[in-house]
């Protein structure tokens, strides 16, 4: 049993305002659904970052300024589609590096390796499955090989401000002076554009959220009926926050057998599942400063929807 997940379920569903962490979206099923989300036309984040990593690859590599072999360590690699153009460019230029994809989903890593073996057979790959910080500290701290951390896809937006600071400080502590971080961050923009990306007409984001209940069913022998729940989200353009919720459609009692836990839901009661925060460039610069990094450059897509920002420890 995943004891950390179990405790988070107990803490979250017994709180006065129920909540479940979005980090638990990404079991194998959730990872597959997220691939569908990234393919939606409304989900501009994928195309925006893909454009940056396709069209500005040479500029990013020049800005790295590593003069010896280095590691590219991707945190939450997923299917690797965001990174492929960067890896392909470096391989074609015969630049000496090792790609280290890290993901909590073993299935995602296996699928990624299959693609890379087919498309970039000469690429040096050292995949890791597990927790970011454990892997970083065990393998990459206090080494002479420079590291580039990749934290792409606007993952930092899933953390409240204080938690984002804490996370990036941990990144800083887990790498060496002179190492770099390329971090994907979604920018504030027309609220309608953001709303459509997260409250999509296809119902894929709804399935993504409700899969969290089905995951609890699978792993902890619970009896959530997803037909008795709905999904809602909204964007606040003043603070840049998208918040997502699962809604109970009736009074119901849920039994989570393996946790020996019963949870009562009222009509229209909410479970807060996700935060997705958007930043402006001033906010990004401040975030880097407050976590011990120096911003080297912001690489923006043509619509200025998104940035991959390069920071140096």
Torsional class of 154: left (φ above 0), alpha (ψ -120 to 50), beta (otherwise)? left
Give the pair of three-digit tokens for residue 8.
């988070």
| pLDDT, position 26 | 87
List beta partners, residue 101: 74
| pLDDT, position 144 | 86
Which strands, in side-by-side order, build the sheet including 180-186? 128-129, 97-103, 70-75, 147-151, 180-186, 306-312, 294-300
**Cβ atoms of 212 and 273 closer than 8 Å:** yes
Of 223, 222, 275, 231, give the one whose Cα is nearest residue 249.
231
- The number of residues making up the chain comes to 313
CA distance 91 to 124: 9
Give the pair of three-digit tokens for residue 204.
């894929």
CA distance 111 to 248: 35
Of 285, 286, 279, give the one whose Cα is nearest residue 298.
285
Q: To which H or E segment does residue 248 belong?
A: strand 241-248
**Cβ atoms of 79 and 36 closer than 8 Å:** no
Of 53, 16, 18, 10, give the one whose Cα is nearest residue 309.
53
- pLDDT tens for the 313 residues of the chain, in order: 789 999 999 999 999 999 999 989 989 899 899 989 989 999 999 899 999 999 999 999 999 999 899 999 999 887 777 789 999 999 999 999 999 999 888 888 898 999 999 999 999 999 998 887 788 878 787 788 999 999 998 999 999 999 999 999 999 998 999 999 999 999 999 999 999 999 999 999 999 999 999 999 999 999 999 999 999 999 999 999 999 999 999 999 999 999 999 999 999 999 999 999 999 999 999 999 999 999 999 999 999 999 999 999 9
Give the pair of three-digit tokens for residue 140.
């990459």
What fold, for 44-189+280-312? Rossmann fold (3.40.50)
- Domain ranges across the chain: 3-24+202-277, 44-189+280-312
CA distance 159 to 53: 24
Q: Strand, helix or coil at 306?
A: strand
pTM: 0.88
| Other beta carbons less than 10 A from residue 163's beta carbon | 12
**Cβ atoms of 196 and 185 closer than 8 Å:** no
Question: What are the residue ranges of helices labelled H in the chain?
Answer: 3-13, 28-39, 44-55, 57-64, 84-92, 106-119, 132-139, 161-173, 191-198, 204-220, 281-290
DSSP string, 154-206: TGGGGS-HHHHHHHHHHHHHTS-TT-EEEEEEEBP--HHHHHHHHS-TTSHHH
| Other beta carbons less than 10 A from residue 14's beta carbon | 11
| pLDDT, position 78 | 74
For strands 97-103 and 70-75, give the pairing: parallel
| pLDDT, position 158 | 92
CA distance 296 to 222: 48
């Amino acid at each position: 049993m995943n004891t950390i997940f179990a405790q988070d379920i107990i803490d979250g569903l017994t709180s006065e305002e129920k909540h479940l962490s979005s980090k638990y979206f990404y079991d194998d099923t959730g990872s597959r659904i997220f691939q569908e989300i990234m393919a939606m036309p409304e989900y501009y984040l994928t195309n925006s970052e893909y454009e940056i990593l396709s069209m500005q690859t040479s500029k990013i590599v020049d800005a790295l300024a590593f003069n010896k072999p280095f590691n590219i360590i991707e945190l939450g690699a997923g299917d690797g589609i965001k990174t492929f153009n960067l890896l392909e460019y470096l391989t074609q230029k015969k630049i000496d590096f090792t790609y280290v994809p890290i993901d909590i989903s073993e299935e995602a890593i296996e699928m990624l390796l299959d693609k890379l073996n087919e498309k970039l057979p000469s690429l040096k790959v050292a995949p890791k499955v597990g927790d970011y910080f454990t892997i970083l500290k065990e393998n990459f701290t206090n080494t002479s090989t420079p590291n580039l951390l990749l934290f792409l896809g606007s993952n930092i937006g899933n953390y409240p401000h204080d938690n984002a600071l804490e996370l990036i400080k941990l990144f800083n502590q887990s790498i060496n002076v002179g190492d770099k971080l390329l971090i994907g961050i979604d920018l504030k923009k027309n609220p309608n554009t953001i709303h459509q990306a997260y409250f999509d007409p296809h119902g894929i984001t709804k399935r993504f959220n409700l899969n969290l209940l089905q995951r609890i069913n699978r792993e902890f022998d619970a009896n959530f009926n997803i037909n008795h729940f709905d999904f809602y989200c909204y964007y606040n353009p003043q603070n840049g926050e998208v918040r997502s919720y699962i809604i109970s459609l009736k009074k119901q009692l849920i039994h989570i057998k393996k946790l020996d836990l019963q949870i009562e839901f009222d009509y229209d009661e909410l479970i807060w599942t996700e935060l997705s925060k958007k930043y402006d460039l001033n906010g990004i610069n401040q975030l880097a400063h407050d976590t011990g990094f120096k911003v080297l450059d912001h690489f923006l897509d043509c619509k200025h929807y998104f940035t991959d920002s390069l920071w140096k420890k």
